Structure formats: structure tokens, C-alpha cells
Amino acid sequence: MTIYLNFFRLHGPAVSFVHPHEFAHYYLGSKYAAERGRRFDAVRARIPHDASVAATEHEVPHLTTRRLACTLAIANGGADYLLVDRDHLSIGASRRMLEAALASGRYEPVLDDPPYLLFAKRKPD
């Protein structure tokens, strides 16, 4: 089990991350980075602060104020929301974890704003 404190793993190598605004700037230019950052912020704002969330690897550090934020590269932890950046699905087991979560029927789509996808856990009937 991996436990996150802010954005450092408590076991294994610690990894630092940058906000999507900054990350995309290095290889795609600042105009694209700003737009991508705005999209990320809009998607993140759709997730209630008291909700747990599992996300692709580069997005997790920006969600660590949640009671539970885990990476899809390892598990989804039964999170209330799944936030996915299509460009980061190849990291770890992210694609398999997302496919398994969706196949379970427990999640429904909330938002599709490329490259981001947001899913919410279905409410019990």
C-alpha cells in the first residue's frame, strides 16, 4: 500500500511534480500550457473537497488536500471520483485500473474535456 503525504510516497523514491500549467510549457508552449491548466482547474473544481479521488500520476499532487488521493498507477482505492488525463494512462497500471473500475459499473461519466475525463461513483439505489 502506498501512502501519500502531500505528494511524496512514504516508500520507494520520492517524486516531485509540477502543475500542468508549468509542465506543458516545456514541450508545447505557454499558450497550450495555460489552456491545459485552465481545463485541469475546471475539472478539479467539479470534485467536492470532502470526496476521495484517484487520478493519473501527474494529477495526484494537485489533489492531495482531499481526505484520500491516490494514483491510478497503483490502485483506485474505491475513490468517490476518478480523474484521468488521457496522456498519462500509460503510467503504471493506470489504464488497467481505469478499465476495471469502469467495467465494475460503479462509476459514471461526469465530464469529458480533453485530455481530461472525470467519473463519479454511482449513488446506491
Binned at pLDDT 50, 70 and 90, residue 89 comes out as: confident
Grid cell digits, residue 69:
488521493
More confident residue, 31 or 105: 105
Average pLDDT over residues 31-59: 89
Q: For the residues 57-81, what does the mean pLDDT come to?
A: 85
pLDDT at 118 over 80: yes
Task: Give 84's strand partners.
Answer: 117
CA–CA separation, 65 vs 102, rounded Å?
25
Distance separating alpha carbons of residues 69 and 101, to the nearest angstrom:
16
| 109 pLDDT tier (thresholds 50, 70, 90) | very high
Q: How confident is the model at residue 47 (pLDDT cuts 50, 70, 90)?
A: very high
Do residues 13 and 71 lie in contact, with contact meaning Cβ atoms separated by under 8 Å? no
- In 3D space, the residue among 63, 45, 68, 46 whose CA is nearest the CA of residue 120 turns out to be 46
Cell numbers 508552449: residue: 29
Quote the pLDDT of residue 29. 57
CB 56 within 8 A of CB 20: no
- Collapsing DSSP to helix, strand or coil, 23 comes out as helix
